[in-house]
């Protein structure tokens, strides 16, 4: 009975903690090697995207840069999270950074190459997995999460969703209002 009680309490505390945490409670390492405290994005709308340089969806970098340029002065941030979880990313952060800047003119923030799925996923992605359905977790590169000014997940979008589609930009604009 004591074991069951302890397990129940652990499960309950874990669930309560994930519901009370927000995007702003985490930090992540930048592609340059510094630490990015996500609380710096309080009162901003963030689009968190797991990216890859050698994927069929890689041209979405252009669309991500376009919406970043369009809305950044309104409090919108695109945060790219390069990941090799689907075996389509360079092995070195410097190669990712150079590729993104030269090929797509990316100047929105990028993190170092980061795990986004499984037991070794970055804590921000574990938090996301606890707060979306199983189909809302990254199933491929360029899976997107729209994070509100309060640090809570507004919506998620599959790799197929173009970052410049009207329905997507409508949600960004609504979140910015």
Specify the DSSP element, H or E, that contains 61: helix 60-71
55 in active site: yes
Taking the C-alpha atoms of residue 159 and residue 50, their distance in angstroms, rounded to an integer, is 9
Distance of CA 62 to the CA centre of its chain: 17
Is residue 141 within 8 A of residue 98, CB to CB? The reply is no
Task: Quote the CA–CA distance of 91 and 112 in Å, as a whole number.
Answer: 10
Query: What phi and psi, each to the nearest 5 degrees, are found at residue 111?
Result: -95, 170
Residue 84, SS3 per DSSP: coil
Marked catalytic residue, from 21, 27, 55, 149:
55
Residues carrying an active site annotation: 55
């Amino acid at each position: 009975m004591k074991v069951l009680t302890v397990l129940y309490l652990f499960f309950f505390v874990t669930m309560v903690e994930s519901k009370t945490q927000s995007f702003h409670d985490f930090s992540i390492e930048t592609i340059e090697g510094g630490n990015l405290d996500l609380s710096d994005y309080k009162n901003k709308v963030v689009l968190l995207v797991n990216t890859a340089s050698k994927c069929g969806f890689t041209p979405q970098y252009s669309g991500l840069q376009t919406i970043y340029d369009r809305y950044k002065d309104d409090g919108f941030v695109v945060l790219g999270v390069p990941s090799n979880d689907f075996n389509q990313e360079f092995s070195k952060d410097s190669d990712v950074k150079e590729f993104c800047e030269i090929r797509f003119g990316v100047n929105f923030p990028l993190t170092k190459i980061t795990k986004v799925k499984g037991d070794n996923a970055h804590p921000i992605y574990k938090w996301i997995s606890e707060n979306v359905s199983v189909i809302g977790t990254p199933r491929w590169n360029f899976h997107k999460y729209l994070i509100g000014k309060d640090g809570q997940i507004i919506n998620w979008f599959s790799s197929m969703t173009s970052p410049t589609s009207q329905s997507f930009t409508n949600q960004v604009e609504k979140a910015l209002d």
